[in-house]
Structure 1
């Protein structure tokens, strides 16, 4: 694999701001871009010219005006996506999920490889096999983003991953040695939040939150368009106590978000009640059919989720809460219980919680990791946007 990695041309901070604005917001007129960046139209025109001349931006041919008296419409500016492609990888305890995306994070290919061992060198080999496979179709790869459940340091070292039982693993280095490409490593929830900020449900918002439910609980907060980070943030979600009298499960403290909302805990509760091992999707179906044990567990989880969403709304005042992850099927089965619980924990005159639910699979998480690689190319570093 070639070690020649494409890069953006050298840009001034103002030129880079214009390019990022077009990349993340989509085709826009000069007047729209100038307004959003708080600059004059003349300044925007001067900044846009070298970006067009360098081949980074292009002028989109606008349709002719049809109304009487309308002048010639301005030509929107768009980003040139060729020749860059990016690989995103999501590593779970069972498999490596990979995607290839364009510069605008559009997924153009998906791959999955099972894991037979958690030994770091072997996992790096599996990840490399995905990169090597997709490089035959997309030879101009600009970088690799990797998302993993656990604590990550300096976007390079896995400090602790409970799903892989890793501590202090320099995984970015292992993969860079194999792929000859820049690799950026991040907690999977943080990667998903970056993806939603640049290209997803949070695009253009000043303040929003992301809550994920699945194998674990994840939470991210964006203020002023930037993700809020703290040393213990990645573990915060699982310790929210939502019902002090709630269930005690192997995951999380009694009545915590982890014990009430994670898929393993929901499956554990149904197994403890019935003696049968039942998967999450089957539990949801049983609850739809009003099976007593499944209905009780799902109803309890729905009330817990409603409390949690109300608390997030109270204390972060978000413009939107994005609910994602493999466990969001809970909303389809028990959505009324969730909304009623939110309402019961809010002031009667409070507005509705702005909630957007996104059904996610592991390739969606991999797409979030690809956005990390996009940011490295665009921003010129690995410390995030």
Structure 2
């Protein structure tokens, strides 16, 4: 049985959602400025903000004196009360669970790891339930949502992991299993898309209408935000950059050939170099020409894929992250060279931003997905 929940954020209309999300991602900000940024009238902003203030989600800060020509009454900026509600986020890898508790602004309050000894579904559910119980204790009265980030093909609507190659899962109803085990409202999302949501609302994507987040590591992932919205596509798998074909005959786990992931993922580099990743990185940095060639080919493949994506959707910026960026110095030159050569016209000017993020940030992305659920009442 799900626990009885107290009043949630009163998002009951598009105007309410717009005002709340503006303060959440860009605040503290005055009502006048909210109106200027959203196109809403002052009366509409005031009407939308009042229930949030009454429910304890927003507060008015001390007046700011305005000076200069045209200065009027002091403004009382609206700000989020970050500790009004807390959100749990968990990133699942093939050998670890990384969990966080975030406040309403997605700031991490506590983080925990729980090693996985098995990726069998019942074992993962049991381990994740134990991790949640450990995390939630100090926040139980104000934490009702759990976001979970999983690699692969995830159906957010049904909470089903349709396919996760690294966990070797097919059609797993993980959302329902976790909701029953934890008593929390569960939001499931692909891990890269979850990280993209966190960047959109609280990172490099704030104030940007279009950007791409590309992750390099165990897989090659991509999250797209176009027109201020995360792109999922009709089947929920939009942005699968790792399976864009850029090579000839390298077999990929997806069943295709020549995929970026078959050339530039960690496992591909390890297989082609014939040694563990740490050793390959060390050998390449010491000047081993054969190993450096492996990283060069990986960088070339990534650059081609980035250019193909940028030519199609034209993002304002591309953020590159993932555990693979620890070795980015070995293929950055090749990424940029291939991207510039293949990008069409002004697309070549697209800003590439390197942003190393630990797995705790992926768990934070899962929490951000559960924060986002506030807007789907």
TM-score by length of 1: 0.88
After TM superposition, give the deviation of residue 133 of structure 1 in Å. 0.6
1:259-274 matches, cutoff 5 A: 259-271=262-274
- Residue 223 in structure 1 maps to residue 226 in structure 2: yes
Deviation string 1:13-42 (CA, Å, 9 cap, x unpaired) is 122321121112221122221012112233
- Residue 188 in structure 1 maps to residue 191 in structure 2: yes
2:281 — aligned with what? 284
Question: CA–CA distance in 2 between the matches of 1:183 and 1:348?
Answer: 44
The 3 A distance-change label for structure 1 pair 201 and 315 is same
Q: Which runs of 5+ in 1 are unaligned?
A: 272-276, 381-385
CA contact (8 A) 1:26 1:78 kept: yes
1:338 — aligned with what? 335
1:363-374 matches, cutoff 5 A: 363-374=360-371
The 3 A distance-change label for structure 1 pair 248 and 296 is farther
CA contact (8 A) 2:53 2:59 kept: yes
Question: CA–CA distance in 1 between the matches of 2:186 and 2:236?
Answer: 24
**Is the partner of 2:138 in helix, strand or coil?**
coil
2:306 — aligned with what? 309
Match of 1:152 among 154, 161, 170: 154
After TM superposition, give the deviation of residue 197 of structure 1 in Å. 2.0
**Is the partner of 2:56 in helix, strand or coil?**
coil
Paired positions, count: 373
CA contact (8 A) 1:58 1:78 kept: yes
CA contact (8 A) 1:28 1:76 kept: yes
- Residue 177 in structure 1 maps to residue 180 in structure 2: yes
- Residue 16 in structure 1 maps to residue 21 in structure 2: no
The 3 A distance-change label for structure 1 pair 54 and 96 is closer
Deviation string 1:148-173 (CA, Å, 9 cap, x unpaired) is 11222324122222222222222122
Question: CA–CA distance in 2 between the matches of 1:190 and 1:126?
Answer: 23
Deviation string 1:239-266 (CA, Å, 9 cap, x unpaired) is 2122337x55767754320111101101
CA contact (8 A) 1:155 1:184 kept: no
The 3 A distance-change label for structure 1 pair 93 and 50 is closer
Question: CA–CA distance in 1 between the matches of 2:219 and 2:346?
Answer: 33
After TM superposition, give the deviation of residue 320 of structure 1 in Å. 1.3
Question: CA–CA distance in 2 between the matches of 1:135 and 1:45?
Answer: 34
Question: CA–CA distance in 2 between the matches of 1:257 and 1:103?
Answer: 36
1:383 — aligned with what? none
**Is the partner of 1:296 in helix, strand or coil?**
helix
- Residue 236 in structure 1 maps to residue 240 in structure 2: yes
CA contact (8 A) 2:11 2:374 kept: no
Question: CA–CA distance in 2 between the matches of 1:109 and 1:27?
Answer: 24
After TM superposition, give the deviation of residue 89 of structure 1 in Å. 0.8
**Is the partner of 2:139 in helix, strand or coil?**
coil
The 3 A distance-change label for structure 1 pair 228 and 62 is same
CA contact (8 A) 2:260 2:301 kept: yes
The 3 A distance-change label for structure 1 pair 378 and 6 is farther
CA contact (8 A) 2:219 2:242 kept: yes
Q: What is the root-mean-square deviation in Å for CA atoms of aligned residues?
A: 2.6
**Is the partner of 1:211 in helix, strand or coil?**
strand
Question: CA–CA distance in 2 between the matches of 1:251 and 1:150?
Answer: 11
After TM superposition, give the deviation of residue 232 of structure 1 in Å. 6.6
CA contact (8 A) 1:325 1:360 kept: yes
Q: Which runs of 5+ in 2 are unaligned?
A: none
The 3 A distance-change label for structure 1 pair 205 and 243 is same
The 3 A distance-change label for structure 1 pair 240 and 249 is closer
1:28 — aligned with what? 29
CA contact (8 A) 2:196 2:213 kept: yes
CA contact (8 A) 1:151 1:234 kept: no
After TM superposition, give the deviation of residue 72 of structure 1 in Å. 5.6
CA contact (8 A) 1:211 1:217 kept: yes
- Residue 296 in structure 1 maps to residue 293 in structure 2: yes
Question: CA–CA distance in 1 between the matches of 2:3 and 2:197?
Answer: 26
- Residue 255 in structure 1 maps to residue 253 in structure 2: no
